[in-house]
């Protein structure tokens, strides 16, 4: 199973590519923004495609051609301007969804935000609201496709070493979760078809990822 990781150079993305490359029957193809990011992934044995998420859909479609699933884990990041939020977190996500459809890739895993409901938008402070809005519409777009989607809503991301233990359900209490464990959740979702058409929140917890995924 070949997985296109969009946003591979992000922190979750790097964990995910490593996990994929270590997993029997899985191989990663990475979509990255800059050629200088390629060597890192080539050293892991991953195929690379240099594509600008702010550009046209066609190069994304070409990157998705022939893969079995697409994972969207790109993010504008806190250090960029708010204009990047709508360009990457919303429009980049929608273009990736449309590219998957055009390339006949049915399986799609979206890394969303912890809560992207209308209520969450209204409760967000002015600084965070644009990001929640962008993720809200991206998730909405994906739900309205006929792709075999899974939407992962992670809690507060940390760089702590993963424990492979999570709490995972439609609704959980807000909390921290290591990026490494989110990468495990993504891979486990790709390995378990019961996650198709589902979405769930994930925080640190006491259930091994592979078991937690089965209870969704």
Q: What is the DSSP letter of 80?
A: S
Active-site residue flag, 137? no
- Residue 62 contacts a second copy per CB under 8 A: no
Residue 121 binds to a second copy (criterion: CB under 8 A): yes
Contact between 102 and a second copy by CB under 8 A: the answer reads no
Strand duo 165-169 + 198-204: pairing: antiparallel
Cβ contact 89:23 at 8 Å: no
Q: Is 83 among the residues that bind a second copy (CB under 8 A)?
A: yes
Instruction: Name the DSSP letter for residue 197.
Output: T
* Residue 126 in the binding site for a second copy (CB under 8 A): yes
Of the candidate residues 56, 160, 176, 211, the single one contacting a second copy (CB under 8 A):
56
Rank residues 49 and 90 by Cβ distance to a second copy and give the closer one: 90
How many CA atoms, within 13 angstroms, populate the side-chain half-sphere of residue 13? 23
Say what angle helices 129-143 and 93-102 make with each other, to 10 degrees: 20
Nearer to a second copy, 129 or 196 (CB): 129
Instruction: Determine which residue in the list 27, 91, 148, 192 makes contact with a second copy, applying CB under 8 A.
Output: 91
CB atoms within 10 A of CB 108: 23
117 is written with which tokens?
Answer: 């409901």
Start-to-end C-alpha separation, the chain = 22
122 binds a second copy (CB under 8 A): yes
Distance CA 69, CA 103 (A): 10
Asked if 90 touches a second copy (CB under 8 A), the answer is yes
Which one among 50, 87, 102, 157 touches a second copy, defined by CB under 8 A?
Answer: 87
- The label of the residue with tokens 């409760």 reads 123
The pair of three-digit structure tokens given for residue 100, joined into one six-digit string = 């998957």
Q: Does 160 bind a second copy (CB under 8 A)?
A: no
Question: Considering the complex, what minimum distance in angstroms separates the CB of residue 159 from a second copy?
Answer: 27
Q: Catalytic residue, from 40, 131, 137, 149: name it.
A: 131
Contacting positions for a second copy (CB under 8 A): 54-57, 81-83, 85-87, 90-91, 118, 121-122, 126-127, 129-130, 133-134, 137
- Which residues are catalytically annotated? 131
């Amino acid at each position: 199973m070949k997985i296109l990781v969009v946003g591979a150079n992000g922190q979750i993305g790097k964990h995910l590519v490593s996990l994929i490359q270590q997993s029997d029957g899985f191989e990663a193809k990475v979509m990255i923004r800059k050629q200088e990011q390629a060597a890192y992934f080539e050293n892991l044995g991953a195929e690379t495609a240099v594509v600008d998420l702010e550009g046209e859909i066609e190069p994304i479609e070409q990157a998705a051609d022939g893969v079995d699933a697409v994972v969207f884990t790109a993010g504008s990041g806190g250090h960029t301007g708010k204009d990047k939020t709508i360009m990457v977190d919303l429009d980049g996500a929608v273009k990736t969804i449309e590219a998957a459809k055009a390339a006949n890739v049915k399986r799609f895993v979206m890394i969303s935000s912890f809560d992207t409901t209308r209520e969450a938008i209204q409760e967000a402070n002015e600084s965070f609201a644009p990001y929640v809005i962008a993720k809200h519409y991206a998730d909405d777009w994906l739900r309205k496709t006929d792709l075999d989607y899974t939407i992962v809503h992670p809690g507060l991301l940390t760089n702590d070493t993963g424990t492979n233990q999570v709490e995972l359900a439609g609704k959980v209490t807000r909390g921290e979760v290591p990026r490494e464990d989110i990468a495990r959740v993504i891979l486990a979702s790709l390995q378990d078809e019961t996650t198709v058409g589902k979405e769930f929140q994930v925080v640190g917890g006491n259930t091994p990822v592979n078991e937690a995924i089965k209870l969704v």
